[in-house]
Amino acid sequence: MSMATYWRPLAAVAIGLLWTSTHATLIWAPCAGNFSFDCTTLTIPLEYASPNNGQVAHVPLARYNATVPARERRGTLLTNPGGPGSSGIDFLLAGAGEGISTITEGHYDIISWDPRGVGSARPLLQCYTTIGEEERGAADQPLAAEIEYTQFTNASYMPEYYAALEEYDSAVGDLARECAEYNSSALYTSSAAYVVRDMAAIVDALDGEHGKLNYWGLSYGTIYGAEFIQTFPERVGKIVFDGVFDAEANAEPYTSQLPHDELYVRDTINDFASMCTDAGPDACALSTSSSNATMNITARLANLQSSLFGNPVPAPDGTWSITAGIFSFFMYSYLKLPPSWPTVASAVHALETGDAEPFATLLTGATTTSITNESAPSTGSMAGWPIQCTDNAPSNQTSLHEVARLVLGISLAEETPWLNADLSTLSFCRNFPNTRPLLPNLGARKLENEETDTILAARNSSVLIVNPLHDPTTPVSSAQRLHEWLSTSSQLVTRRGPGHTTISLGSLGLVQAIREYFVNGTVPSTPEVHDISQIVFPGGGDAAESVNPDPVFNGTFTEKERELLEATYVVFKAFMGLP
């Protein structure tokens, strides 16, 4: 089957570009429950391929107003926390608005929105009718495949390995088929190609049809940034890509994305172990001796996972057990959030001794919700899974045998013990139809052929690319690749150490580079690498009792410098609080 078969009519691309919202009028009012912000809703076509067919979508916006006098204001700055499927409004209201405003010295109105199909947007991308059905569907999903990394070189383990993958894939596949069969009207109208046209419509409504996009995109929000600069290169203002998803791999079957996801997991595990060891037992519980005094932290983690594979530890309430798969999910989830590591270390150390309560508290606190009305409409909490599928090329020709070989190969090559916690998207998309939106995503087509770089350079437009060196979710290699594609219209700034996106650990040099870019339009003349300014295992206080303890910085800083670092942490906490 040719690739053309996967896409509905490509002529729709041109049609979608004809529609604008220059006549849209936004009426702002204080947000319900939070009068420090303004809220409104933008109405746009549901299907940009048929913009005048009468079907519309509603995109909610929230605004944190600029704090400088009117004459000093520089327009609007959009931000999106990625996901896909995360609420930009929740992100803004949880602190990102204030934090980004502080970093940019109050010069911009900070705007975020719930992308199509997500949060308060309508129509909502649902897989079920009611919240009760949605919660039961979520509860049926295993957190990870029950496979054991330390057995991967054992040929006799292979039948058990394949059986575990098949069981996991079957459960996730049921969800994929249910989402496709529900066929929400947002299912094929919520991909990146549609979101970036909404972003242009937002700029039209706020700054006029000649307005330019100023944008700070984090994580999957960088996919929207990459799609935007290719679709509307003439409308590029100041854009920061933070924690870069590889736009080319993201447009291919998910088998191309999965290897990218694992490139710096091992480095991050090593960072966790070395930072914990250096901090000592007063700051990191795992630096205390285990029952095997000769075993280092990395080996102890592997030993614990192996032990849980054969002997799961019952949770305190007795209704479930901590298995190797659940341990993988837990470690993979928290690995990208270094400020949480003191608490994680304490929970893992307790689990080594057979005390499951701290571990279970952290896990269930991150995954459980309370339903008050099971018949209420579903919330679209699973929207991110089908959105990522429709952003990718179809994966449904991928066999389970190919998945097994891929996982085995990546795990051994990258020494990645928790890859089974990252299989959900691949299994979901493997069982999802090959239907795709009328407007296909560009992926990286206009980046690879240098078309976008040429246009941006001719317009003297430069974007800023920032990334941690050991980001376990969006590897620095993806940021470097984007910089190569935009060789004359971008600059790359990185910081040392772990964490997903640069906001996960404060770095004075890096946040100053972002401030200078947004406030003064200054980009470094050459790539820069900055140090971390935040202590991961500070010891004392609430560091071991909270996943987001008060930050401790590692130097003597001026009041202004500390304000920038604390603002970074405020944005991180808003990011961390998203589902």
DSSP 182-216: H--TTTTS-SHHHHHHHHHHHHHHHH-TT--EEEE
What is the predicted pLDDT for the residue at 362? 93
Instruction: Return d(Cα 243, Cα 221) in angstroms, integer.
Output: 9
In this structure, the number of other CB atoms found within 10 A of the CB of residue 486 comes to 24
Helices assigned H by DSSP within 93-220: 97-103, 131-139, 158-182, 192-207
Chain centroid offset of residue 15 CA: 31
Rg, the chain, Cα only: 23
- In the three-class reduction of DSSP (H, G, I as helix; E, B as strand; rest coil), residue 156 is classed as helix
pTM passes above 0.85 = yes
For 202-228, b/e burial (b = at least 16 CB within 10 A) is bbbbbbeeebbbbbbbbbbbbbbbbbb
Type of residue found at 389: C
What is the predicted pLDDT for the residue at 366? 55
Q: Are 523 and 530 in contact (CB under 8 A)?
A: no
pLDDT truncated to tens, each residue of the chain (579 aa)?
333 333 333 333 433 444 444 456 899 999 998 889 999 999 999 999 999 999 999 999 999 999 999 999 999 999 999 999 999 999 999 999 999 999 999 999 999 999 999 999 999 999 999 999 999 999 999 999 999 999 999 999 999 999 999 999 999 999 999 999 999 999 999 999 999 999 999 999 999 999 999 999 999 999 999 999 999 999 999 999 999 999 999 999 999 999 999 999 999 999 999 999 999 999 999 998 665 555 799 999 999 999 999 999 999 999 999 999 999 999 999 999 999 999 999 999 999 999 999 999 999 875 555 667 899 999 999 999 999 999 999 999 999 999 999 999 999 999 999 999 999 999 999 999 999 999 999 999 999 999 999 999 999 999 999 999 999 999 999 999 999 999 999 999 999 999 999 999 999 999 999 999 999 999 999 999 999 999 999 987 666 788 888 999 998 999 999 999 999 999 999 999 987
Length reported for the chain: 579
What is the predicted pLDDT for the residue at 14? 39
CA 572, 577, 578, 579 dihedral sign is positive
* Cis? peptide before 498, omega within 30° of 0: no
CA 361, 362, 364, 370 dihedral sign is positive
Reading the block at residue 291, the tokens are 């029952």
What is the predicted pLDDT for the residue at 25? 80
What is the predicted pLDDT for the residue at 1? 35
Chain centroid offset of residue 441 CA: 19
What is the predicted pLDDT for the residue at 492? 98
